Amino acid sequence: MVVLWMVPLLLIPLLMWTSSTFVFYFKKCFYVAWMMVLALVAIPLCILKSGGRDIENMRVVRFLVRHVKYFLGLRFEVSGWEHLQTQGPYVIISNHQSSLDVLGLMEILPDRCTMIAKKELIYAGTVGLICWLGGIVFINRKKTSDAKSVMAEAAKTMLDDQIRLWVFPEGTRNQRGDLLPFKKGAFHLAVQAQVPIIPVVFSSYSNFYLRKEKQFKSGTIRLKILPKIETKGMTSDDVSSLCDKSFDLMRLAFLGISDSVTQSNGPLSH
């Protein structure tokens, strides 16, 4: 019986060495499982710290999650830290490639900052509960009227509680090597609250992570924090041009840092 238990333990290192598909599924499963375990640890800590739902709980989540990158063989290079030293509330916008974005988000998450996320996330077991405890704002993407009312309430909360909100304006995960057109919710939010927008750009994951090809290697992710974009004096009429300006700036940065990462590490063969 002992020998039978030893077989899987011996097979795992062998498969990790010889099968990129096995590595992909092993890392993905480990990532999901470990994040759920960390959420389970964080839940009582957050309740003890704040008594329930509170944006200050994101400090606990940030502390617990920051080590996960090492297990997955990932490294972050961050530039533009000074742009996050802005006082008061603001809206952070970033591109969205996969669930791994959470690791980069936690790498630079400022104090009193939480996220806007799809409503379905709240049903994701312990992770959903910790998201709720961390003050994450949930929106129903299928109902535009609901999303708009949530955004309006979020704008009021930003000013009343002096918080920051992180939004993925592409609206969905995208690993196509470019940015998807931005949805305008984040820009309506910033204009309504009259707070600045701070764009954050993740380099392409294609040099280490290819979902369709089932490849997940070690790699470097470059995070570039761009200068803030002011919205004071803007109205809803300016939202489209603000959205376009932000998209152009982020796309230029994305292509630039993605090319530099690929040249440093080499492309991941398809």
- The number of beta carbons lying within 10 Å of the beta carbon of residue 67 is 11
What pLDDT score does 12 carry? Answer: 66
Architecture in CATH of 6-260: 3-Layer(aba) Sandwich (3.40)
Q: Residue with structure tokens 């292509």?
A: 255
User: Which among 216, 223, 159, 168 is positioned nearest to 191, based on CA atoms?
Assistant: 159
Examine the pLDDT at 6 and tell me if it is beyond 90: no
**pLDDT tens digit string along 37-68?**
999 999 999 999 999 999 999 999 999 999 99
Q: What is residue 53's DSSP assignment?
A: S
What pLDDT score does 246 carry? Answer: 98
Span 239-261, mean pLDDT? 92
Which of the listed ranges 171-175, 182-186, 198-202 does the model predict with the highest average pLDDT?
198-202
Span 2-25, mean pLDDT? 71
What pLDDT score does 270 carry? Answer: 46
What pLDDT score does 14 carry? Answer: 63
Pair of tokens at residue 93? 């916008």
Span 177-185, mean pLDDT? 92
**pLDDT tens digit string along 92-119?**
999 999 999 999 999 999 999 999 988 8
What pLDDT score does 146 carry? Answer: 63
**How far from each other are the two terminal CA atoms of the chain, in whole angstroms?**
41
Calculate the average pLDDT of the chain.
90
Span 227-247, mean pLDDT? 96
Q: Could you tell me if residue 125 is left (phi over 0), alpha (psi between -120 and 50 degrees) or otherwise beta?
A: left
What pLDDT score does 144 carry? Answer: 66
Examine the pLDDT at 174 and tell me if it is beyond 90: no
Examine the pLDDT at 266 and tell me if it is beyond 60: no
Task: Say which residues have a Cβ less than 8 Å from residue 233's Cβ, sequence separation at least 6.
Answer: 194
What pLDDT score does 254 carry? Answer: 96
Give the three-state DSSP class for 51: coil
CA angle 116, 122, 123 (to 5 degrees): 150
User: Which among 161, 71, 154, 72 is positioned nearest to 115, based on CA atoms?
Assistant: 154
Task: Say which residues have a Cβ less than 8 Å from residue 6's Cβ, sequence separation at least 6.
Answer: none
User: Positive or negative, the Cα torsion across 114, 118, 119, 123?
Assistant: negative
**pLDDT tens digit string along 133-159?**
999 998 876 666 666 777 888 899 899
What pLDDT score does 1 carry? Answer: 52
What pLDDT score does 230 carry? Answer: 97
- The torsion of the CA quartet 177, 183, 186, 191, rounded to 10 degrees, works out to 130
What pLDDT score does 149 carry? Answer: 78
> How far is 243 from 191, CA to CA, in rounded Å?
11
> How far is 89 from 46, CA to CA, in rounded Å?
23
* pLDDT band at 173; cut points 50, 70, 90: confident
